[in-house]
Amino acid sequence: MDHAVTFLLGGFRRWDAIYFLHVAEHGYTYENTLAFFPLFPLLTRVAANTVLLPLQFFMNYSSSLLVAAFFVNLVLFALSADILYRLGSRVMSSDAIAYKAAQLYCVNPASVFFSAPYSETTFAFFTFAGMFTLETGSLPLSALLFAASSLARSNGFVNCAFIWYKILKDFQIAVYCKWFQTRFTFVTQLVAMIFIALGKAAAMSLLCWSTFFAYQYYSYRVFCNPLASYKDMATHILNYGNNQKYKMPHAGLSRWCHQSVPMSYSYVQRNHWHVGFLSYYELKQLPNFLLALPMVCLCAYTTVYYMMWNPLYSLSLGLHDPIIQNDKKTDDPIPLRTEGFGIKKKSCLVYVVHMASLAVFGILFMHIQVSCIISDLKSTWRSTTHFVFIM
């Protein structure tokens, strides 16, 4: 059975998949593995030890983990496509565009990475689920789903901005309503609404980021533990780490342990994976930049197209919504422009800003292969870029 698994799924055991499967099987034994967040390895291990436990009678544990990773991604990929369809239908008020966007999400060439042991599928599922839940109005549940996305990939950290924007828009609507209803007590109510909005934003932010900081604390406990011993590690793992000169928990405190804020993630990305500002800008990487150019251009086109259709709304981040103006001759209200549908809808603003921000960050800081291989930046571009394909 091991030979059969290797023949059928062995091609997936490449690149980052090696590290995710290593974490699922052995935990965080080497410092460079801290760049791979634990939710997907945890789901893989749970699936291998529960639903797929009978497989371990016919194959070794490493093979069963590979099957479990494929199984987890297969399920979450189907669920993420369904949620993406429902999200697109709600945001853009068009079932047809949402359906085509979900189809493109499923059949694009990079979909192979949603089957491989990568965390893209897990991240996409929890991110789309959080977006959809937020659109239906449940802030705490959305914060929990975004917290799960932060435990899958580091860029889930910025998903909390969706909740901030939702709170800001709700605050704006509440202020307008109170102004027209009770102008005499408006100031007192405004102060109260400000404190309520800030408190809500702080609570939701804490909930969103709890998993990220919990993982950083776990990393600190493992690699900044002066009592760590090599005896806690399997012999072959220890020997391989020594041969590769990897930093292991028992080999003394890591350098980032002595920082005023001991955060492992930025240190590991910078020192082990060479991720940093313009660090990838080398002449030999020019072909990879050319491969990424279509996706970057598509994101730039989407952003400009949306801003041209909704200029004032975009520049004010949705806080100024010029829907009508008065006719100079008759003084009757006339619409400035019909809202349209699809990517033209004002409700797409927060997704366009999210996409543009990740695009800029990816171009300046990340390995350009992310946009080449995944056809987006860590899966979150899909929620907007696939919509614009239809336009």
Tell me the per-residue pLDDT of 230-253, one tens digit each, with 9 for 90 and over: 888 888 888 998 898 888 888 888
Question: How confident is the prediction for the chain on average, in pLDDT?
Answer: 81
Supply the pLDDT for residue 386. 43
Average pLDDT over residues 21-37: 91
Query: pLDDT by residue (tens digit) across 77-89?
Result: 999 999 999 998 8
The answer, yes or no, to whether residue 20 has pLDDT greater than 90, is: yes
pLDDT recorded at residue 199: 85
- Confidence bin at 121 (pLDDT 50/70/90): very high
> Can you tell me the distance from the alpha carbon of 156 to that of 138, in angstroms, rounded to the nearest whole number?
18
Per-residue pLDDT, 372:
53
Residue 262 lies in a domain: no
pLDDT of residue 383: 42
Is residue 94 assigned to a domain?
no
210/144 Cα distance (integer angstroms): 9
Does residue 214 form part of some domain?
Answer: no
Beta bridge partners of 334: 325
CA atoms of 142 and 234, how far apart (whole Å): 40
In a domain, 175, yes or no: no
Q: For 163-188, what is each residue's pLDDT tens digit?
A: 998 888 887 777 666 655 555 566 67
Q: For residue 330, give its domain range.
A: 276-391
Dihedral, 112, 114, 119, 122 alpha carbons, nearest 10: 180
- Domain membership of residue 309 (yes or no) is yes
Give pTM, 2 decimals.
0.83
Which phi and psi angles does 259 have, rounded to 5°? Answer: -70, 155
Residue 30 predicted with pLDDT over 70: yes
Helix axes 120-136, 39-49, angle to 10 degrees: 100
- Asked if residue 127 belongs to a domain, the reply is no
The pLDDT of residue 124 is above 80: yes
Query: What three-state secondary structure class fits 325?
Result: strand
Count of domains for the chain: 1
Q: What is the pLDDT of residue 324?
A: 47
* Average pLDDT estimate for 340-351: 79
Give residue 281's pLDDT band: very low, low, confident or very high (50, 70, 90): confident
Domain presence at residue 355: yes
In a domain, 110, yes or no: no
Residue range 4-13: mean pLDDT, rounded: 83
